Chains A and B, each alone.
Chain A
């Protein structure tokens, strides 16, 4: 039996309405999970004897700005005993009311969720250590969002050189 199919069937039996949609690209499976079920699905995938997804490779987030829901969070799982990779994808409607933390399933999720919050601003429920990880502690905003300004400083050309130069904060001794 195809392993992707097995994963789908077992989740469907264990948590019947968890899977919204299945995406299969060249044998690489992505399961769209309902936000409220993500923790239960992760717990199941780690503990079930046929699944054994004991390694959480990464958590990352997408910003699909004109679309709704705007954010999606991806969980990249790996089962070392079964040598199989799986991606779970959760659509997030409100980034301040994000999916529940999976830190109780894989402890590393604390850090990965911290990174997602730092750069993309998706707030994971019950993760108590969401703070600045890569950015300076006094940073405002979340720079990987699409509505964050792309450039930092206007580019200097000969016609606007002096204007920008006058505003540039040069260091004093």
Chain B
């Protein structure tokens, strides 16, 4: 592989800790298991064998917010659901990130009415918005990669 040439005789490699931590965070970012509407079908599609989210270490959806790092808000959030989504976000352990998947989660989409929150950025801080109604799995994967790009530039002390 070539990497063994960097070992030297002591078996030690020097590297920036921040880069190493961020590399670890991007490569095993477990999403929380919940879908709110039709976008969830595409989310499942991007995790199933055709698009295979396990390439990014995120094939494992955790049903517990305590064990998950990423919240994919897949679908429209009704005003009655909003406190639940916020509570799940609060229960997630830091570091944590949010992807607003699809038009409804990003800005309310076609549902500009009394029942739907006009964008989940009103209730949780969103890192990446994915457009589409619903977005294809490629678009969601592009959202993952955009988030990875962001995470690679993060400072550890910002989460402390």
Q: Closest CB-CB distance, B51 to chain A, in whole Å?
A: 30
Please tell me if the beta carbons of B124 and A151 are within 8 angstroms of each other in the complex. no
Please tell me if the beta carbons of B114 and A170 are within 8 angstroms of each other in the complex. no
Please tell me if the beta carbons of A135 and B122 are within 8 angstroms of each other in the complex. no
Taking the complex as formed, is A134 at the interface, i.e. its CB lies under 8 A from any CB of chain B? yes
Total interface residues on B, CB under 8 Å, equals: 17
- Interface extent on A, as a size class? 10 to 19
Task: Please judge, given known A-B contacts A170-B121, A171-B123, whether A153 and B112 are in contact too, CB under 8 Å.
Answer: yes
Taking the complex as formed, is A155 at the interface, i.e. its CB lies under 8 A from any CB of chain B? yes
Residues of A within 8 A of B118 (CB): 152-153, 168
Residues of B within 8 A of A168 (CB): 118-119, 121-122
Docked pose: A148 CA to B116 CA in angstroms: 15
Taking the complex as formed, is A143 at the interface, i.e. its CB lies under 8 A from any CB of chain B? yes
Pick from B79, B86, B112: contact of A136, CB below 8 A.
B79
Residues of A within 8 A of B5 (CB): none
Q: Closest CB-CB distance, A151 to chain B, in whole Å?
A: 5
**CB-defined interface of A115-152 with B at 8 Å, one 1/0 digit per residue?**
00000000000000000001110000001000011111
Task: Please judge, given known A-B contacts A171-B122, A171-B123, whether A148 and B79 are in contact too, CB under 8 Å.
Answer: no
Residues of B within 8 A of A153 (CB): 108, 112, 118
Residues of A within 8 A of B14 (CB): none
28 A-B pairs within 8 Å (CB atoms) are namely: A134-B80, A135-B80, A136-B79, A143-B114, A148-B114, A149-B114, A150-B113, A151-B113, A152-B108, A152-B113, A152-B114, A153-B108, A153-B112, A153-B118, A155-B112, A156-B107, A168-B119, A168-B121, A168-B122, A170-B121, A170-B125, A171-B86, A171-B121, A171-B122, A171-B123, A171-B124, A172-B125, A173-B125
Residues of A within 8 A of B122 (CB): 168-171
Given contacts A143-B114, A169-B122, A171-B122, 9 further A-B contacts (CB under 8 A): A136-B79, A148-B114, A149-B114, A152-B116, A168-B121, A168-B122, A170-B121, A170-B122, A171-B86
For A141, the closest partner residue in chain B by CB is B114
Q: Closest CB-CB distance, B86 to chain A, in whole Å?
A: 8
Residues of A within 8 A of B121 (CB): 168, 170-171
Taking the complex as formed, is B133 at the interface, i.e. its CB lies under 8 A from any CB of chain A? no
**CB-defined interface of B121-139 with A at 8 Å, one 1/0 digit per residue?**
1111100000000000000
Q: Closest CB-CB distance, A148 to chain B, in whole Å?
A: 7
Docked pose: A165 CA to B80 CA in angstroms: 23
